[in-house]
Amino acid sequence: MLRSIQGRMLLLSAVAILAALGIAGWAIAGVLERVVTEGIDRRLDAEIALLASTVAPDGQVDRARLTARAGALEAGRGWTWRIDGPDGAIGSADPPRLRPGPVAAPPPPPGVPDAPGAPPAPIAEDAAAPQGLDGVDQAGRTIHARRLRLVTSRGTVSLLAAAPRAVVARPLREALTPLLVALAILAALLAAASLLQLRLGLRPLARMREQLAAIRAGLRERVDDDQPVELRGLADELNALAADRAAALATARQSAANLAHALKTPVATLALQLRDDPAKAAQVARIDATIRHHLARARAGATDTRASVRIAPAVDDLALAIGRLHAGRGITVTPQVGGDPVAAMDAQDFDELLGNLLDNAARHAATQVWIDVRVASGDARRIVLTVSDDGPGIPAADRARVTEPGVRLDERGEGHGFGLAIVRELTELHGGSLTLGERDGGGLAASVTLPARHQSAGQA
């Protein structure tokens, strides 16, 4: 996953989403807890206010008033209240164990009465709101308490109101459950949005990869110029690289072709002149073989592996041209192409290959030349091209020898005996094969197998 740009960005997005939602959930939970706790504190403070109203300035508790107001105090499991003063404790018999609070201040000296004969009023130790405390009761339940200490003339009176911690946790849990569900849904939506954003954002890269594959397959010559700003420079460099490679291949192929044409005719002529001298003919054949060997290597090195040619138009054009050349003899060339096959070879090589086959067939045909092209049976990666004629054919014993350079079985007419040799060389150069056989009804049937190039949506 870390080797993929999309995987890395998805991982970073997932971490960022989880971190953001975790912080948000933590913050919201803290706010909710504070709100719920403040609500419980207000209820406990109201109880403490009730308890404080029953304490006289001298620390004595007005039990009658306490009994009258006891109905307003919270009652239930875990809810407790307690008054601890100079006269003892009133309320819960089992006081909760609380975490230590601030040390109580010593009682101040007796204050000045507000009016003649009036006792001083009780004074809160901290002169502020009650203090919040947490602890456990005798049953082991966690509690939340509020405590207020009053300073009276006879000493300190401690007022305590406590509630089970569950009254804080329960509404908090009830609020957090839908919150967590909402956060989970939000996380899923954000993850889906991130995935969609990455797919849309990286789609130009996938499209460029498809176009590069099409260039490599010979189905197009360049990638689209209409690219996002971030990829435009890369597209320009790739197009320049493809153009330079195509130019280099064209130069190499042209040089090989020029050398082949420059040497083919002189060597063929020399071979014909010296055929009566076996020793010299053998040396010329050796020269010819060496030249062809090195030309084949040069040509193979310059072969464009991306090249492709649509066979149907090329067959139609060459059939028409050969038919016109031999129209004076009444030769008819009939092409038949199944579908729209594409061969994985250069268009010039295919024209030269088919041109030599057609020229050889037309020179020996009586009246008819047939071209048949179809995908190989059981192997969609191969194309079978067959050129047949109604001429005298070639004896089986001579079919292997006739594809050698300079070999002619028929000395009449023009030609140097290189046509089928060139066809064999071109076919083998592209990974195919040449087979010579007999046509049903008489005549030669020359079949070549060529690699097929599958077309794709990226074809330009």
**Looking at residue 324, which CATH number applies to its domain?**
3.30.565.10
Residue 387 has pLDDT above 90, yes or no: yes
Asked if residue 396 and residue 362 are part of one domain, the reply reads yes
Residue 152 has pLDDT above 90, yes or no: no
- What percent of the chain has pLDDT above 70? 80
Asked if residue 355 and residue 289 are part of one domain, the reply reads no
> Which range has the top average pLDDT, 109-113, 242-246, 400-404?
242-246
Asked if residue 439 and residue 315 are part of one domain, the reply reads yes
Q: Which residues are within 8 A (CB) of 163 and not within 5 positions of it... i.e. 6 or more apart? A: 40, 43, 44, 74, 78, 79, 143, 144, 145
Average pLDDT of span 249-277? 74
pLDDT category at 335 given cuts 50, 70, 90 is very high
Asked if residue 401 and residue 267 are part of one domain, the reply reads no
Asked if residue 427 and residue 379 are part of one domain, the reply reads yes
Domain endpoint, select from 267, 287, 304: 304
pLDDT category at 282 given cuts 50, 70, 90 is confident
> Which range has the top average pLDDT, 105-119, 336-350, 390-404?
336-350
pTM above 0.85, yes or no: no
> Which range has the top average pLDDT, 14-18, 303-307, 310-314, 342-346?
310-314
What pLDDT was estimated at residue 126? Answer: 47
Residue 85 has pLDDT above 60, yes or no: yes
Q: Is residue 57 part of a domain?
A: yes
Average pLDDT of span 147-155? 88
pLDDT category at 127 given cuts 50, 70, 90 is very low
Residue 124 has pLDDT above 60, yes or no: no
Asked if residue 446 and residue 311 are part of one domain, the reply reads yes
Residue 388 has pLDDT above 90, yes or no: yes
Contact assessment for residue 120 and residue 55, using Cβ atoms and an 8 Å cutoff: no
What pLDDT was estimated at residue 112? Answer: 34
Q: What domain count does the chain have?
A: 3
pLDDT category at 448 given cuts 50, 70, 90 is very high
Asked if residue 281 and residue 143 are part of one domain, the reply reads no
Q: Is residue 184 part of a domain?
A: no
Q: Is residue 203 part of a domain?
A: no
Average pLDDT of span 381-405? 84
Asked if residue 14 and residue 159 are part of one domain, the reply reads yes
Asked if residue 349 and residue 290 are part of one domain, the reply reads no
Domain containing residue 136 = 5-170
Q: Is residue 111 part of a domain?
A: yes
pLDDT category at 405 given cuts 50, 70, 90 is low
pLDDT tens for each residue of 23-77:
988 888 888 888 888 888 888 888 888 888 888 888 888 888 888 777 777 666 7
Residue 90 has pLDDT above 70, yes or no: yes
Domain endpoint, select from 304, 330, 353: 304
Asked if residue 70 and residue 164 are part of one domain, the reply reads yes
Higher pLDDT, 342 or 265: 342
Q: Is residue 186 part of a domain?
A: no
> Tokens in use for 228?
């996002």
> Tokens in use for 113?
């009465």
Higher pLDDT, 276 or 388: 388
For all residues of the chain together, what is the average pLDDT? 78
What pLDDT was estimated at residue 334? Answer: 92
Question: How far is residue 133's CA from residue 146's CA, in Å, rounded to a whole number?
Answer: 6
Higher pLDDT, 412 or 422: 422
Q: Is residue 296 part of a domain?
A: yes
Neighbours of 424 (CB within 10 A): 22
| 432-437-440-443 Cα dihedral, nearest 10 degrees | 110
Domain endpoint, select from 236, 269, 304: 304
Contact assessment for residue 150 and residue 128, using Cβ atoms and an 8 Å cutoff: no
Closest CA to 386 of 371, 374, 376: 371
Asked if residue 319 and residue 261 are part of one domain, the reply reads no
At CA 154, angle to CA 149 and CA 157, rounded to 5?
A: 20
pLDDT category at 370 given cuts 50, 70, 90 is very high
Question: How far is residue 17's CA from residue 22's CA, in Å, rounded to a whole number?
Answer: 8
Question: How far is residue 224's CA from residue 209's CA, in Å, rounded to a whole number?
Answer: 11
Q: Is residue 454 part of a domain?
A: yes
> Tokens in use for 376?
């190989």
Average pLDDT of span 267-275? 78
Asked if residue 398 and residue 340 are part of one domain, the reply reads yes
Q: Is residue 206 part of a domain?
A: no
Give the phi and the psi of residue 304 in degrees, each rounded to 5.
-85, 105
